[in-house]
Amino acid sequence: MLFKDIPGLVALKNTLIHSVNVNHVAHAQLFHGGIGSANLALAWAYATYINCEDKQEGDACGRCASCVKMSKMVHPDIHHIFPTPSAKETILELLPTWRKFLLESPYRSLTDWLEFTGVTGNKQGIIPIKEAHNIIEKISLKAFEAEYKILIIWQPELMNIESANSLLKILEEPPAKTLFILVCNDTNRLLTTILSRTQRIVIPAFSDDDVIRYLTEKEGVDTARAKQIAYLSEGNLSKAAELVNYEGESKHQWFANWMRMAYKPDLVTLVKLADEFDAFPKEYQKGMMEYGLNIFRDLLLWKNGAEALVRLEGEELTFVQNFSKAVKINAIELIVNELSQTYYYLERNARAKILHLDLSLTIARLFKR
């Protein structure tokens, strides 16, 4: 992974590169970014740059022995700690799977990873204590080839108190030329003692333009669809990729048809749509609710005269314009509430068909107010 492989974030990349060039690399850093952000990809690119034997202006060379090993994730001086699905699997056993996962895409979530391991059953994700401890110990040995030994800890939130303490111990007296990069989503779940010993690097979400560029260039998505996905994914590349993979009717068409049927109301079709909804993948069901929330929020802006803030185009814009004439403000507010409640229940695995039909009937009623 090179910096240039990661879309956008120019200023942040420059800061990281500068820290290496002026020899100001903090020995413990916390790459903090939301789910689907560049936090892990940047840690990987940063480690590649640090150990590159022929650093170029603004990036690693990508060709030297170190860069080649880094690109395959087989560099002997880079260590990884990541969660395993349960206490039964070890980091060492899962390392080849971890490599494959990262090489496919470094923007995915913990849930994606746990699914990728193929381990079935109840998976929460844990960082095995003993193994984490051994890896942390191992890092105090001298580097094999590179100038720096680097330990990348993904999801340090999942370290229990024992692992966190062995990490703390080494952070207090770090071995020379050793770099710890903690890649996290949620700093609230880290020990304050760990927070205070790391330099925090805040990684912003990708911009819509970054997401559009990534989808068009790397995923071969056409611009119109990329724009729609960027709007829905709010800078989360993991979510954007998931939306690309779902080859169905466009979300807007399905949603718009649903709303028209609720407006009529056409009860026979609403029952049929509840069945269709029930058959969607769960993430897609949740995505439909989020999409509805975005549209109704825009509808609210439109009704309140803030048309300039509505960023929709084409069919979606027409939809908002038409519905803004037909639906009252307080009904829209109530519908927004209903949609977010349904999202909440979907997340907790309530039966999608019943939820959807209930929601359709409520919306039909609210449309008539």
Q: Which residues bind Zn ion (CB under 5 A)?
A: 52, 54, 60-61, 64, 67
Q: Toward Zn ion, which CB reaches closer, 64 or 331? A: 64
Rounded to a whole number of angstroms, the minimum distance from the CB of residue 48 to Zn ion is 7
Helix (H) / strand (E) element for 298: namely helix 282-303
Region of 348 (left: φ > 0; alpha: ψ -120 to 50; beta: rest) is: alpha
Q: What's the min distance (Å) between Cβ of 263 and Zn ion? A: 60
Instruction: Report the first-to-last Cα separation within the chain, whole angstroms.
Output: 55
61 versus 95: smaller Cβ distance to Zn ion: 61
Q: Provide the minimum distance between the beta carbon of 68 and Zn ion in the complex, in angstroms, as a whole number.
A: 8
Q: How far is CA 359 from CA 194, 255, 260, in A?
A: 45, 13, 14
Helix (H) or strand (E) holding 202: strand 199-203
Question: Residue 288 corresponds to which tokens in the numbers above?
Answer: 């439909």
What is the nearest approach in angstroms of Zn ion to the Cβ of residue 288? 45
Least distance from Zn ion to the Cβ atom of residue 180, Å: 22
> Residue 61 or residue 271: which is nearer to Zn ion going by CB?
61
Least Å distance between CB 60 and Zn ion? 5
Task: Compute and round to an integer the Cα radius of gyration of the chain.
Answer: 24
Q: How far apart are alpha carbons 168 and 163 in whole angstroms?
A: 9
Question: Which of 6, 221 has the CB closer to Zn ion?
Answer: 6
Structure tokens given for 98: 């971890």
Q: In the complex with Zn ion, which residue's Cβ is closer, 60 or 229?
A: 60
Nearer Cβ to Zn ion, position 51 or 233? 51
Torsion of CA 341, 344, 349, 350, to 10 degrees: -10
> SS3 of 318, please?
helix
Distance in angstroms (rounded) separating the CA atoms of residues 242 and 283:
8
Residue 214 Cβ, how far from Zn ion at the closest point, in Å?
24
The C-alpha atoms of residue 167 and residue 160 are separated, in whole angstroms, by 11
Pairing state between β 178-184 and 28-33:
parallel
Give the nearer residue to Zn ion in terms of CB position, either 144 or 326. Answer: 144
